[in-house]
Structure 1
Amino acid sequence: MAREATEVASIAQKVKARGRRHLRVRKKIRGTPERPRLCVYKSNRHIYAQIIDDIGGRTLAGSASVYRELFLNREELDKKGVAELVGRDVARKALSQKITEVVFDRGGFLFHGRVKSLAEGARAEGLKF
């Protein structure tokens, strides 16, 4: 019983730490109409990306691994592969709206693994950051 309580406490600490990191990053990063913010969120199962104009308060483009039409053959890919597809998709949507440069907001997550794969996928499609 005591072990379960410490596991719950450590999960709560991890969530708090990510929140603090996210606030620290967001103090410095601001999305503008000329250079919007590419925001990343990941859960254990899915990954989400949005391109946001913070001044106008609008989401300009977005993609996620929950979109069925994008990932019909997702069973063949690992989580990093899916993250790269999400990055490519959000970059295509941004480029169709003539957005070529963004500011990358990792959302308090460390820049490795799925977050890095998403960024590499977006860069591969031509998004600059």
Structure 2
Amino acid sequence: MSKQTENTARRRARVRRAIKAVANGRARLSVHRTGKQIYAQVIDDAQGLTLASASTLDKDIRAEIKSGANVEAASTIGKLIAERAIKAGVKDVVFDRGAYMYHGRVKALAEAAREGGLNF
């Protein structure tokens, strides 16, 4: 395992450990970003189920965004994941940024999800 992969895995585990300590049974809003896309999932860790998901690869979203790798696309996904999570009956979540720093696209997605009605 390369040093960079090892550091990323360690950072991801540290964030996940902190989230599990404060979750109190709430679902987890997990974010994954790549160079071209951004993905979000609301996960119930107790049952191991994905309750809602959204990404820039969704057909209805793909038509309205120019690129999946910018802040505008992340905001769109944040609003969509909030809408789908509320539809699934989830209002309170814990934000899991993974190994990513809380700025840029990750921050835009989180703020849009809050505006969409999720509490975290």
TM-score under structure 1 normalisation?
A: 0.82
User: In percent, how many aligned pairs have the same letter?
Assistant: 38
Partner of 1:64 in structure 2? 55
User: What root-mean-square deviation, in Å, do the aligned CA atoms of Structure 1 and Structure 2 show?
Assistant: 1.8
TM-score under structure 2 normalisation?
A: 0.88
Deviates further, 75-84 or 118-127? 75-84
Question: Which of 92, 95, 110 is the matching residue for 1:104?
Answer: 95
Deviates further, 78-87 or 22-31? 22-31
Please give the alpha-carbon distance, in whole angstroms, between the structure 1 residues aligned to 2:8 and 2:113. Answer: 23
List per-residue Cα deviations over 1:6-39 (Å, max 9, x = no partner).
Answer: xxxxxx544432221110011122366x510000
Q: Does 1:84 align with 2:59?
A: no
Larger Cα-atom Rg: 1
Partner of 1:53 in structure 2? 44
Assess if the C-alpha contact under 8 Å between 2:29 and 2:41 holds in 1. Answer: yes
* Offset at residue 98 of structure 1 (A): 2.0
Alignment gaps of 5+ in structure 2: none
* Offset at residue 77 of structure 1 (A): 8.1
Please give the alpha-carbon distance, in whole angstroms, between the structure 2 residues aligned to 1:66 and 1:52. Answer: 19
Q: Does 1:24 align with 2:42?
A: no
